[in-house]
Amino acid sequence: MKPVMLRFFCHFSILCLTVIFTGCGDSGPGVELKNASKEEARDIQATEPLSLKIEEFTGNHTKIVWAKYVGSKGDVFANGNQLELWGIDTRDDKGAHKIIEAKGNYSRPLISPDGKAIIFSSKNMTRVKEGGKEVKHFEPYIYRVDWEGTKIEKLGPGYASDVWADPNTGVYWVYRTDILPTDRSAMRGAKLDRFKLYDQDDIEVVWDKTEIGPDNIQLSRDGKRASALFPWPHAGVLDIDKNEQWKNQHGCWPSLAPDDSYVAWVFDGAHKNLHFFTDRTKKTWIVPVNGGPNIKGNEVYHPRWSNHVRFFAMSGPYIGKTIGSGVGHVNIYLGNFSKCLDNVDHWLQITDDGQDDYYPDLWVASGDGASVSDPSLVDAADDEDDLKLWPRGGNERLLFLWENGKKENKAANERRCSVDARDQARFGPNFEMLADGGYFEADKESGEILSRHGVKKARTTIELIATANDADQRGTVFSHDQFQIQQRGDEWVFVSAEPKLIGISLGKVEVGKPTHLAASFEKAQGWKAFEDGKEIQTDGDGPAPDMKASRSGMTFGSGWSGSIEGIAIYADNLKKEEVEGNLDYFERNIAKRKAIPRIKIRAKLIEATPARSLEDLDTYQRGLLGYYYEVEEVIEGALDAKEVIVIHFTTMDRTPLTGFPRRPGQSYELILEPKALHPELTSEREWNDIFAPDINVIYFDVATPQP
């Protein structure tokens, strides 16, 4: 079988592996809807042909607005001035038409909650050469216009992200950000504030704890939650009442249900699927959105929930090598979610005129009466209690915290800690650091804070979970200029340069066993060390205190093959019972993990997705491509299939891997696991042009990437 070269990520039979919970029939998330579209009184009054199709689709008076690109190169991020503002009001008999005659920058058009006005932003972008890079600068300004395009009003500076109606007062609020200079596509703002749509002088700050992505901020009906990037690629939800945020996963185009269920989604790095989350990520499932008419499995973009929980809008397909290519193919689509929000039951293509259409917003007259109604969806008590279990020492004492790449990882004063993968390092299926191909670098601020703290000046504790791939290696698990955790042969070793040079054996290495390692300093007692909760005697007979040369700053996994997670560095010395409590937290969580089936095969490459350039990566650090193989031999594990689709890392740390592109007709030995069991790949940039409907499992190449 030779697959047809169409861009296709996966179909629902694959995605069933990633559904975490059931309850709506046999495959859905158990979401029940009240006032759902098929249960609503249908109010169809349109007469113009396209408007009639839209009202038959939504069941009611509907409005859509979008930015149409009329240039020749594409402008998917709506930065330039070759755009027109277009819309449809199904009750005015005009069909799809231009709202404002003049071309300009009509970015992120929004429909007011009552449907009567359109709010859009002009980015006023300029490009400036800075340090050898082309940097975009913005001076955004917000406007309001009526549907006739006759009354255009300046509202004030900023970039409008959402318009929300206060259910208690009826006041309309415009939520806006600034846009910081950038040399990448992903935009960032310093803060989120809001002003009254009809009183622009009344301004309130909503969020200023982190930078924030301006696109796809959407509020719940009660105004207590908002979807957000804070900033890209950290996608999740703001709890506006509590002034806190949590990350659902890395991704883009987050969106929030327009009711009070707080159900949210994040768009994945393949630009083909919505990953749904209930409040505080208690439940999650995946919905493909690249199956609409004429999309043919290609990429899509700009997904945005409407004001009705059952409907959303997006743009697509994107057929070229990059999201910005494929001029003339990109149209506006409406999707109708199933009752359980676990599938798109129906599609409607809105535009098809040989020009690109971006940034759709959809308004349905009956939207404010549609809601998700399931008490379990808003009960996050279990998750909140679980958050208190680690670290036992309390966040207020933390200099650095990194549990895994999915968590918020906030130290004292709500400071977010982060790590970046270098060389061929990457994240694992539990979002842990995999350091067999490189190392990880902590954010610069965290390293500087630890240096200023100084071990000899105060109390200090470090703890982490390390899992070695090899019982006979010499490398550094953790490194800072003051102390390190190393593996020397089959022994864990802690070394400190402060207050004096000292080496402590932490016990024997067991390959594949997650081991909790900790060391705690207090001036009067010196260092105490722990291995899996057991205190180590430090009577001076330890190994030679060799501080291996390492990279500057705070790093993890330099010259060492294994995985690392659960790192906490305290400005305090932990008691033995606190160390034991932290160990208990990780033992219970690790025990819940299910083994991922692995196979080893020899296979002949039949077809490959064309290679992408570094420019195609845009803001991403790593890229994956889909390859199609014919199975020649199963070396380990069980596999009945004669052909497989395999997703490979081909670019890492913005550097192409030398083993790619591979040559069709050549045979390769592959170590594979089902891709659906690797959620960490969701946020990576992926291209897969292989369409093979008879193949129902896509695999991921888990071998250590070679430089």
Query: Is 583 a domain residue?
Result: yes
Long-range contacts for 524-532 (Cβ within 8 Å, ≥24 apart)? 525/573, 526/502, 527/494, 527/496, 527/502, 528/573, 529/494, 529/504, 530/463, 530/506, 530/576, 530/579, 531/492, 531/506, 531/507, 532/507, 532/583
Q: Are residues 682 and 561 in the same domain?
A: no
Q: Which residues of 387-401 are buried (b: 16+ CB within 10 A; e: fewer)?
A: eeebbbbebebbbbb
Query: Is 604 a domain residue?
Result: yes
Tell me: the pLDDT tens digits for 464-490?
999 999 999 999 999 998 899 999 999
Q: How far apart are CA 327 and CA 386, in angstroms?
A: 48
Give the structural domain span for 36.
4-383
Query: Is 706 a domain residue?
Result: no
Q: Are residues 575 and 667 in the same domain?
A: no
Q: Are residues 584 and 626 in the same domain?
A: no
Q: How far apart are CA 12 and CA 310, in angstroms?
A: 19
588 CB contacts (<8 Å, ≥6 apart)?
none
Q: Are residues 464 and 367 in the same domain?
A: no
Q: Are residues 355 and 240 in the same domain?
A: yes
Q: At which of 571, 591, 611 does a domain end?
A: 591
Residue 40 pLDDT grade (very low, low, confident, very high; cuts 50, 70, 90): low
Average pLDDT over residues 298-309: 96
Pairing of strands 698-701, 643-652: parallel
Q: Are residues 399 and 527 in the same domain?
A: yes
Contact 330, 317 (CB under 8 A): yes
Total number of domains in the chain:
3
Q: How far apart are CA 453 and CA 273, in angstroms?
A: 44
Q: Are residues 222 and 255 in the same domain?
A: yes
Q: How far apart are CA 321 and CA 298, in angstroms?
A: 11
Tell me: the pLDDT tens digits for 423-451?
999 999 999 999 999 999 999 999 999 98
Backbone φ, ψ for residue 540 (5° rounding): 95, 0
Q: What's the CATH code of the domain at 657? A: 2.40.50
Verdict on whether the full-model pTM lies above 0.85 = no
Q: How far apart are CA 681 and CA 693, in angstroms?
A: 22
Average pLDDT over residues 367-375: 76
- Report pLDDT for 30: 47
Q: Are residues 514 and 461 in the same domain?
A: yes
Query: Is 707 a domain residue?
Result: no
Query: Is 122 a domain residue?
Result: yes
Contact 388, 325 (CB under 8 A): no
Tell me: the pLDDT tens digits for 654-701?
999 999 999 999 999 999 999 999 999 998 999 998 888 788 899 999
Q: What's the CATH code of the domain at 308? A: 2.120.10.30
Q: Are residues 119 and 266 in the same domain?
A: yes
Q: At which of 336, 351, 383 does a domain end?
A: 383
Q: At which of 591, 612, 641 does a domain end?
A: 591
- Report pLDDT for 325: 63
Residue 186 pLDDT grade (very low, low, confident, very high; cuts 50, 70, 90): confident
Backbone φ, ψ for residue 264 (5° rounding): -135, 165
Residue 617 pLDDT grade (very low, low, confident, very high; cuts 50, 70, 90): confident
Average pLDDT over residues 399-410: 92
Which of left, alpha, beta for 608 (phi over 0: left; psi -120 to 50: alpha)? beta
Q: Are residues 195 and 53 in the same domain?
A: yes
Tell me: the pLDDT tens digits for 4-27?
433 333 333 333 333 333 345 433
User: Where is 560: in which H helix or E strand?
Assistant: none
Q: Which residues of 366-378 are buried (b: 16+ CB within 10 A; e: fewer)?
A: bbbebbbebeebe
- Report pLDDT for 388: 53
Q: Are residues 571 and 629 in the same domain?
A: no
Query: Is 192 a domain residue?
Result: yes
Q: How far apart are CA 361 and CA 312, in angstroms?
A: 8
Q: Are residues 505 and 617 in the same domain?
A: no
Tell me: the pLDDT tens digits for 496-532?
887 788 899 999 999 999 999 999 988 877 888 999 9
Q: How far apart are CA 62 and CA 537, in angstroms?
A: 73
Q: Is 297 helix (H, G, I), strand (E, B) or coil?
A: coil
Q: What's the CATH code of the domain at 451? A: 2.60.120.200
Q: How far apart are CA 375 and CA 65, in angstroms?
A: 34
Whether residue 208 has pLDDT greater than 50: yes
Q: How far apart are CA 169 and CA 115, in angstroms?
A: 18
Tell me: the pLDDT tens digits for 577-597?
999 999 999 999 999 999 999
Whether residue 385 has pLDDT greater than 70: no
